Amino acid sequence: MTMNTTVSSKEIDEAFLQLKDVVKETPLQKDLYLSHKYDCNVYLKREDMQWVRSFKLRGAYNAIIALNEADRQNGVTCASAGNHAQGVAYTASELNLQAVIFMPVTTPLQKINQVKFFGGENVKVILTGDTFDDCLKEALVYTEEQKMNFIDPYNNIYTIAGQGTIAKEMIEQAKSDNVQFDYLFAAIGGGGLISGVGTYFKTHSPQTSIIGVEPAGASSMYTSVIQEQQIVTLPEIDKFVDGASVARVGELTFNIANDVVDDYVQVHEGAVCTTILDMYSKQAIIAEPAGALSVSALEQYKSQIKGKNVVCIVSGGNNDIKRMKEIEERSLLYEEMKHYFILNFPQRPGALREFVNDVLGPKDDITKFEYLKKSSQNTGTVIIGIQLNDHADLNNLKANVDEFDASNIYINENKMLYSLLI
């Protein structure tokens, strides 16, 4: 393919021409809600409205079309948590190629079904491994054995150039409105998006600060570039933000990000959930966790962006509706609105009424009440979930619970108990 170890704005321009009749030119929209909230001009680049509902189609198509005809006919493989897989599947169907797509077993069913929909008979899906990195190892072994062509989701010059076409679109769209961006926020998983977009902006809009956004539980680029100054593999990651939960970034993206990213933001997974719910209720945008990362980061930058022109790439909208209950739960926990306790509860009439009157505030609510153990004794062990009306009431709630049962266990602070019981 190429021996290049970086990508240029010229290569992104070439990719743009290659893709102009394939990908959708997604909207660049000024968002009134976010602009008012942060007292600045916030624009959203809506890659959640791409044909496959994420930006990944750009890089996948550009990397596959760069193969010579003989290699293409041997078929392609990829490893993906979902969005890159959809891009490869769509491309395989468009070019009538065979593709074998490896996905982690933890991938939401919605993304698996979308891959099969876009790929049709041209695609075979293999579910393997708990994380993207486990899945990647299996895909590489299979590719070697079958003599196929692996389409890397980020550590590939053509993939990076394809993702960079978003930047060219944004800059041209903004010019028509006579807008220049002061800040660009984009998610980082393996680093393909930030590398491509950052490269193009540094050439054509050097005044724009490039801010890379990672989930706090999988900040592999920040750890590698800033903390260790070398590529490291995170020993453990939180897989919730599945489109950006990568334990090890690519060599190409590490080097490019080191040159083009001005700052890194780590966003708590619970804050991402709050953003997803906020975008849905206030803006009618259905963003997946990775797609909401860039918007989530605005909260940490609110003092710097005041009065500025800001653009956030909403990188994907492949959110499984079955996850919404978990998203709401994570948001409430992060906002300190929902709290769980294990306590000894009197087994006598009127005990629950006394608990409500003596422990809860007038607008607080019991969302869970479950006996773990009943006995012939005077008390039984109970899990109780309480949703506050105001998170500022937490200390008062804890004090009241302590008075009700001094031996209670606060489950929120015990990750293992929470996972086991809730």
Global pTM reads 0.93
**Segment 344-348 long-range contacts (CB within 8 Å, at least 24 positions apart):** 344/379, 344/380, 344/381, 344/382, 344/405, 344/407, 344/408, 345/371, 345/379, 345/380, 345/381, 345/382, 345/384, 345/405, 346/378, 346/379, 347/374, 347/375, 347/377, 347/378, 347/379, 347/380, 348/378
User: Which tokens go with 287?
Assistant: 């963003």
| CATH number of the structural domain spanning residue 136 | 3.40.50.1100
Phi then psi for 132, rounded to 5 degrees? -60, -40
Q: Are residues 108 and 36 in the same domain?
A: no
In-domain check, residue 78: yes
**pLDDT at residue 150 above 60?**
yes
pLDDT of the residue at 81: 77
In-domain check, residue 2: no
Q: Are residues 36 and 67 in the same domain?
A: no
Last residue of one domain, picked from the residues 121, 150, 179: 150
Q: What is the mean pLDDT of residues 305-311?
A: 98
Q: What is the mean pLDDT of residues 4-32?
A: 95
Per-residue confidence band for 1, with pLDDT thresholds at 50, 70 and 90: very low
User: Which tokens go with 291?
Assistant: 């797609």
pLDDT of the residue at 372: 85
Share of residues in the chain with pLDDT > 70 (%)? 99
Q: What is the mean pLDDT of residues 124-137?
A: 89
Q: Are residues 64 and 102 in the same domain?
A: yes
Q: Are residues 73 and 175 in the same domain?
A: no
In-domain check, residue 85: yes
Q: Are residues 165 and 312 in the same domain?
A: yes
pLDDT of the residue at 151: 98
pLDDT tens per residue across span 69-92: 999 999 999 999 789 999 999 999
pLDDT of the residue at 304: 98
Q: What is the mean pLDDT of residues 126-147?
A: 92
Termini Cα distance of the chain:
50
Q: What is the DSSP letter of 290?
A: H
In-domain check, residue 211: yes
DSSP strand E in 85-127: where? 99-103, 123-127
Average pLDDT value for the chain: 95
Last residue of one domain, picked from the residues 328, 349, 374: 328
pLDDT of the residue at 132: 76
Q: Are residues 111 and 243 in the same domain?
A: no
In-domain check, residue 35: yes
Q: Which residue has the tokens 């709630």?
A: 397
Q: Are residues 285 and 353 in the same domain?
A: no
Q: How many domains does the chain have?
A: 3
Question: What domain range includes position 95?
Answer: 56-150
Residues 6+ apart with CB under 8 A from 420: none
Q: What is the DSSP letter of 54?
A: B
| CATH number of the structural domain spanning residue 390 | 3.30.70.260
Q: Are residues 402 and 320 in the same domain?
A: no
pLDDT of the residue at 131: 78
Q: Are residues 178 and 212 in the same domain?
A: yes
- Check: CB of residue 221 under 8 Å from CB of residue 126: no
pLDDT of the residue at 2: 41
pLDDT tens per residue across span 250-284: 999 999 999 999 999 999 999 999 999 999 999 99
- Check: CB of residue 187 under 8 Å from CB of residue 313: yes
41 sits in which H/E element = strand 41-46
Q: Are residues 411 and 276 in the same domain?
A: no
Q: Are residues 242 and 95 in the same domain?
A: no
pLDDT of the residue at 296: 98
In-domain check, residue 115: yes
How far is residue 381's CA from residue 370's CA, in Å, rounded to a whole number? 9
**pLDDT at residue 189 above 80?**
yes
pLDDT of the residue at 375: 67
How far is residue 364's CA from residue 307's CA, in Å, rounded to a whole number? 38
**pLDDT at residue 3 above 60?**
no
- Check: CB of residue 125 under 8 Å from CB of residue 101: yes
Q: How many CB atoms lie within 10 A of CB 66?
A: 20
In-domain check, residue 352: yes
pLDDT tens per residue across span 93-110: 999 999 999 998 988 788
Q: Are residues 168 and 284 in the same domain?
A: yes
Q: What is the mean pLDDT of residues 364-368?
A: 96
**pLDDT at residue 414 above 50?**
yes
Last residue of one domain, picked from the residues 102, 122, 150: 150
In-domain check, residue 399: yes
Per-residue confidence band for 361, with pLDDT thresholds at 50, 70 and 90: very high
Q: Which residue has the higher pLDDT, 211 or 132?
A: 211
Q: Which residue has the higher pLDDT, 31 or 321?
A: 31
